[in-house]
């Protein structure tokens, strides 16, 4: 067989992800916190980047090439220091674009030789304005570590006079308390784990019970209980003896807690021999107790959200603008950029040129991210003006493809923009994905958003009769009367998603 060498020409298409495009996509999907860390890392690694608050130390005797580089840096600065905002008017066909530019502070030119840096930029006026008790307390509250339930119990134990033997038992009991304040291990198991057969005076179960009884008087009331019934009885026993309906509440909790849990008020009235008005007062006392005493102390740290977009209504027009606090404004350092020489191919000059190019790419990627985010948020506000004006019941169905077609982008790009990005509205702070929802058909042939249906279900349940709550079938029928076709199982799914209990658990005597 003879092999022949030949040349062939083929025509084809391929998509190549350039480093610049990869960087733009990566920045687009970052959350606010991740973006701030990314910008800080770029500022630390690239000497050509600086924040717009930094001061310019330019040499007045610059060459022509230096001036050209400085003009390039100034152009980049003007691109990154502008805040773009959008006004959406219902009577207009498109958005109104406007920009605002802030000017940075400058360092005084003439300074004494012996002037210290702290003397120039001392923060006395700012600190004096905040030097009051209220601000100091707020700072301590926000920065102090949260006290856990175990810390609170340990503090009380140190103040309680006990023998070393009882303190060992108390520590064993504290180790068995969960975050809700309940004792998770049986006393027999705790006792068996502490028994030492070689001890001349072995530990008795009665000693563990005695220490437990003392610990059950600790704060918060109801802690160290073994079940819900004991937790409520502990709290009732700590109330003043003259508390109204205290004896009747103990009776209900001791003997009829199962009927109370099932909300079988008819049986509860008959067996407790109480009248309906009396039982109502007894239940009011019981519902004032805390079934999870540990939750009052062992609370998780709140997660603070910084909105990326702010929506305001001004002169009957919804204004959409980027939050200027989400990221520092950056620009090219004009002093370092002026050091680059065109015809110089040395290692230092090449390094500076590469860093300048990377800085320009980074600034352009940030600008592209902001423009895309503002464009998508503007279209969302345009589509969901009913929600902003009237609430969740006026929410319209919206999917990613609708916004993608409006801004002429791919759905994957819209998904990246709306993930972990938040919008501050007069009705609260919402993730951009909150405004997207599926639809349910109506009798008139229209569509109703699933978010609006959830709001309707919540409103119907809020206005129901406590003695006879609405079932899922009844809610589905009432929505059907409004022209919304929704099945009973769909109502149940939406109700469970909103953490609303079923009708038998919502039944109340009052």
Look up residue 182 and give its DSSP letter.
Answer: B
Residue ranges in 64-123 assigned as alpha helix (H): 64-80, 117-120
Tell me the per-residue pLDDT of 2-55, one tens digit each, with 9 for 90 and over: 677 878 788 877 666 677 778 888 888 888 888 888 899 999 998 988 987 644
pLDDT tens, position by position, 241-284: 999 999 999 999 999 999 888 888 888 899 988 898 899 899 99
| Greater pLDDT, 196 or 363 | 363
Structural domain contains residue 491: yes
What pLDDT, on a 0 to 100 scale, did the predictor assign at position 147? Answer: 78
The last residue of one of the domains, among 281, 296, 311, is 296
Domain for residue 326, yes or no?
Answer: no
Residue 457 lies in a domain: yes
- Number of folded domains that form the chain: 2
Residue 444: domain span:
437-510
β-bridge partners, 431: 422
pLDDT score for 104:
39
- Residue found under tokens 């005084």: 108
* The pLDDT of residue 87 is above 60: no
CA distance 316 to 443: 33
Q: Which of 147, 280, 158, 303 is nearest to 218 (CA)?
A: 158
Most confident of 56-70, 98-112, 369-383: 369-383
Q: Is 504 inside a domain boundary?
A: yes
Boundary of a domain, candidates 296, 329, 346: 296
Tell me, yes or no, whether 203 lies in a domain. yes
Residue 89, in any domain of the structure: no
Evaluate if residue 111 carries a pLDDT over 50. Answer: no
Give the pTM: 0.63
Is 502 domain-assigned?
yes
pLDDT at 318 over 80: yes
| Three-state SS annotation for 264-319 | CHHHHHHHHCCCHHHHHHHHHHHHCCCCCHHHHCCCCCCCCCCCCEEEEEECCEEE
By percentage, how much of the chain surpasses pLDDT 70?
77
For the chain, the average pLDDT equals 79
CATH number (domain holding residue 468): 1.10.10.60
**What percent of the chain stands above pLDDT 90?**
32
Q: What pLDDT score was predicted for residue 88?
A: 52
- pLDDT tens for each residue of 139-164: 444 545 567 889 999 999 999 999 99
User: At 128, is the pLDDT very low, low, confident or very high (cuts 50, 70, 90)?
Assistant: very low
Domain final position from 296, 331, 353: 296
Residue 308 has pLDDT above 80, yes or no: yes
Q: Residue 247: its pLDDT value, please?
A: 93
Arithmetic mean of pLDDT, 453-466: 89
| CA 372/CA 366 separation, integer angstroms | 10
């Amino acid at each position: 067989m003879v092999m022949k060498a030949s040349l062939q020409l083929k025509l084809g298409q391929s998509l190549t992800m350039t480093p610049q495009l990869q960087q733009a996509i990566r920045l687009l999907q970052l959350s606010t916190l991740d973006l701030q860390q990314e910008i800080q890392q770029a500022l630390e690694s690239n000497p050509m980047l600086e924040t717009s608050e930094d001061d310019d130390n330019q040499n007045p005797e610059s060459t022509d090439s230096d001036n050209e580089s400085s003009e390039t840096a100034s152009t980049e600065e003007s691109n990154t220091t502008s805040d773009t905002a959008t006004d959406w008017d219902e009577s207009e066909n498109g958005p109104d674009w406007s920009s605002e530019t802030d000017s940075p502070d400058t360092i005084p030119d003439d300074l004494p030789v012996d002037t210290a840096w702290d003397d120039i930029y001392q923060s006395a006026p700012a600190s004096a304005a905040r030097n009051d008790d209220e601000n100091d307390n707020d700072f301590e509250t926000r920065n102090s570590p949260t006290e856990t339930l175990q810390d609170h119990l340990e503090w009380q134990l140190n103040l309680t006079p006990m023998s070393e033997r009882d303190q060992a038992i108390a520590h064993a009991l504290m180790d068995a308390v969960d975050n809700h304040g309940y004792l998770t291990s049986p006393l027999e198991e705790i006792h068996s784990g502490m028994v030492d057969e070689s001890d001349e005076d072995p530990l008795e179960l009665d000693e563990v019970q005695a220490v437990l009884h003392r610990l059950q008087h600790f704060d918060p009331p109801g802690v160290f209980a073994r079940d819900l019934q004991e937790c409520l009885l502990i709290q009732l026993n700590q109330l003043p003896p003259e508390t109204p309906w205290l004896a009747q509440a103990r009776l209900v909790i001791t003997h009829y807690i199962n009927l109370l849990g099932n909300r079988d008020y008819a049986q509860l009235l008959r067996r407790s021999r109480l009248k309906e008005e009396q039982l109502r007062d007894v239940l009011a006392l019981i519902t004032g107790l805390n079934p999870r005493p540990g939750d009052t102390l062992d609370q998780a740290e709140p997660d603070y959200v910084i909105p990326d977009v702010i929506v305001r209504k001004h002169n009957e027009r919804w204004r959409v603008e980027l939050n200027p606090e989400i990221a520092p404004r950056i620009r090219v350092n004009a002093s370092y950029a002026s050091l680059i020489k065109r015809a110089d191919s040395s290692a230092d000059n090449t390094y500076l040129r590469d860093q300048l190019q990377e800085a320009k790419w980074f600034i352009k990627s940030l600008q592209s991210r902001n423009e895309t985010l503002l464009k998508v948020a503007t279209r969302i506000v345009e589509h969901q003006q009913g929600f902003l004006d009237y609430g969740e019941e006026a929410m319209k169905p919206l999917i990613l493809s609708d916004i993608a077609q409006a801004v002429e982008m791919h759905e994957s790009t819209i998904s990246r923009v709306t993930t972990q990005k938040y919008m501050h509205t007069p009705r609260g702070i919402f993730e951009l994905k909150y405004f997207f929802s599926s639809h349910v058909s109506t009798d008139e042939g229209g569509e109703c958003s699933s978010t609006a249906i959830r709001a309707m279900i919540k409103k119907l349940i809020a206005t129901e009769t406590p003695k006879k709550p609405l079932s899922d079938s009844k809610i589905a029928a009432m929505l059907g009367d409004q022209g919304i076709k929704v099945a009973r199982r769909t109502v149940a799914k939406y109700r469970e998603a909103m953490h609303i209990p079923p009708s038998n658990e919502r039944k109340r005597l009052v």
